[in-house]
A = this chain, B = another copy of it.
């Protein structure tokens, strides 16, 4: 129940009941540091994606270490970030419909707000909302650089939207949103490098047309944990939107990182679970299933017991084949590494932040469920 806290600061981790979402603060802080080190000497803005963590406490730590603000994927997520003290949010996504656009424009009274567009009619709707609230909103053109989700094609179609933005009195054309989401989980370094090279090519063609049309350059923003050093090296991207680096989930860990230059981020996010049934040899049932760890990108991994395998999740149970691993007595608590961090975080109301074997803090996930 939402009003029940999963732990208290000062508690021993062993006493934290399960399932709970653990954030290992040493690993988390190490990841923040390694990202900064990997970008040292480059003139790039960092704008981490808050859809991964949904937590102002984390956003403010990223900003304290130099980030210019955060990305969000939904207006409600942006509202939670601004309410939590974040002064600058980019909704790295389209916002469609009068009700949402009114909330976006109202938010622009309280914080710096930027949004993306890929449709001229939508651009006019954003302009109308901005006029109603007496604000000027920065708008980026979302360019489809290979993810084949939202966004217009590079070149003339992107220029068309840029011109539509520039023609609106209450909007400012602010540049290009060029996130290659399809590249992030390609396993081989060369595949990821090639996908970003193609994205850079589309961005450059678009920038040339935009310059020729007399529009300001604006910024180019994009990149994820799987590829960000390639965008950083491109001389074309100005801002990086990495999200998962703070947590490093089981799916990202399957990428080949050798010779990518990208640091080995550590797993910092865990699902804490109890062995709740041990009636069959070599099988342990744990109390974490689909409602405790998202399985869209594969099953969680069993941390600390490399040979044990999480086979199957039902609503409230996980089935682990031990493959001879010892431990796993009834009542034992173990850590799982989630398959996919973002939707797993969205299942919880708090991070139980641990340092070593002790709870140091509870950080509320205030944008949990903020999908609209």
Contact = CB atoms under 8 A, between A and B. Distances in A.
Interface of A: 1-2, 4, 6, 15, 17-20, 51, 73-74, 76, 79-80, 83, 93-97, 99-100, 118-119, 121-122, 144, 148-153, 157, 181, 274-280, 285, 287-288, 290-292, 294-296, 313-317, 319, 330-331, 340, 342-343, 346-349, 366-372
A307 B20 CA distance: 41
Given A79-B1, A277-B119, A295-B296, A314 B149 contact: yes
A316 B94 contact: no
A277 B94 contact: yes
A96 B287 contact: yes
A296 B349 CA distance: 21
Nearest to A349: B369
A290 to B, nearest CB: 4
A76 B291 contact: no
Nearest to A345: B291
A279 B144 CA distance: 9
A368 B144 CA distance: 36
A278 B119 CA distance: 8
A348 B319 contact: no
A interface, over-half SS? loop
Nearest to A280: B148
A150 B285 contact: yes
Nearest to A346: B291
Contacts of A151: 277, 279
A352 to B, nearest CB: 11
Contacts of A150: 276-277, 279, 285, 317
A213 to B, nearest CB: 20
A372 B4 CA distance: 10
Contacts of A17: 97, 99-100, 372
A97 B274 contact: yes
A118 B279 contact: yes
Contacts of A368: 2, 369
A74 B273 CA distance: 13
